[in-house]
Amino acid sequence: MTTGLLVVFRTPSEMEAEVVQGLLQSHGIDCWRTAGPPPGVFPFTSSPLGETCLSVRNADADAALRLLEPAEAHEPQATPTAPETLPVHVLPDLAELEARIGYQFQQRTRLEQALTHKSRAHEDVTGGQRHNESLEFLGDAVLGLLVAEALCERLPDTTEGQKSQLKAALVSTTTLTAMAEAVALGQHLRLGRGEEKTGGRLKPALLADACEALIAALYLDGGLEPARRFVLTALAPEFDAAALRGFRGTDFKSRLQEVLQRSGQPLPTYDVVATSGPDHRKVFTVEVRVAAQALATADGLTKKDAEQQAAALALAGLVDETARP
C-alpha cells in the first residue's frame, strides 16, 4: 500500500527536525513528521528508536533532497525564477560547542534551549520550542554570584563599592559578547527568519543574552562547578588586568580625569552614540573623548555604567601607552 509520502530526512534531534522542517516549508514544500517508516528514498526501511522522520509528497521529493544536499554537491546552474528566499545557515554539531566550553551536557535539550532565540520559538506553530529568556534571567544571577565570589577571593582588600563597580564591568554586555565570541556561540544560535536576515548571529545583545542563557544551562545540568569553570576561564584576563593595572574597582571616571589633568590635557567628555535592545533592558553605547580624539567606546545597561566602562577602557589604553619603550 502506498502512502504518497517519501522520507527525505531523519534525525535524533527534535531541534534539528524543527529547523529542517522550517527550511522546507520556507521553500514552498509541504512537510510532515511521520511516526512510522513510510516508503522512503533511503536504503533502509525502518526508523531507529527515537528518530524523527520528515516526509514530503512523492512529487516534491527530488526538490526536497536537492535542497538538503550540501552546497558543494551542486554544480553551478541557472536558477529558475522563484520567490526570494533567505540564506540558510547550517548549524554546526553541538558537540563542537561542548568541546569549546569544556562540558558535555547530560540533557542536550538544555543547551538547545539556551541557543534558541524567541524569534525562532515564535515561528514554531506547534508551540513545542522553548526560547532562552528564562535561562537568560537565571544566568544573569548565576554570573553575578560567581563574579562576586571571585572578586572576594582575588581582591579581598577592596571596599564593597569598589567591588560593585568592578563587578559591573565584568558582567557588562561588552564582556558577555566577548565571552560568546570566544566560543563561537553565534554559529549555534537558533534564530527566526527575520533575525537571520538582519545578522542576528553578530548582534552584541543577542550574543550577550545567549551567553547568560548558556551559563544557566551549565548550572542546571551540572551545578555550579561547570558554570564556575566556564566563567572564570573566560574572565581570567579581565581579573588579571584589573589587578595588574591597579584599578581595583575605583571610580574610573574620576581616575581618568586625574590622569588627564596631571598631563595637562582637557577634561574628557562622554556621549551616548547608540542604544539597542528592548525598553526593559536597553543597552547604551558611550564614547569618551578628549578634545577631538576618541579614547574608548563601551556598553552598559545604564548611561552611568557605560560611562564607567568607557573610562576604564580609556585608562587601560593610557597605561599601555605609557608602558611602551
DSSP code at position 36: S
- List, edge to edge, every strand of the sheet that includes 5-11: 5-11, 52-57, 32-34
DSSP assignment of 123-159 equals H-TT-----SHHHHHHHHHHHHHHHHHHHHHH-TTS-
**212: annotated active-site residue:** yes
Q: What is the CA radius of gyration of the chain?
A: 25
Active-site position among 18, 60, 140, 196: 140
Q: ∠ CA(106), CA(104), CA(211), 5° rounding?
A: 100
Residue pair 69/4 in contact by the 8 Å Cβ criterion: no
Report the sign of the C-alpha dihedral through residues 238, 241, 242, 243, in that order: positive
Catalytic residue list contains 140: yes
From the list 16, 136, 195, 212, the catalytic residue is 212
Residues 41 and 279: their CA atoms lie apart, in Å, by: 50
Residues with Cβ within 8 Å of residue 83, at least 6 apart in sequence? 28
> Any idea which residues carry the catalytic annotation?
140, 212
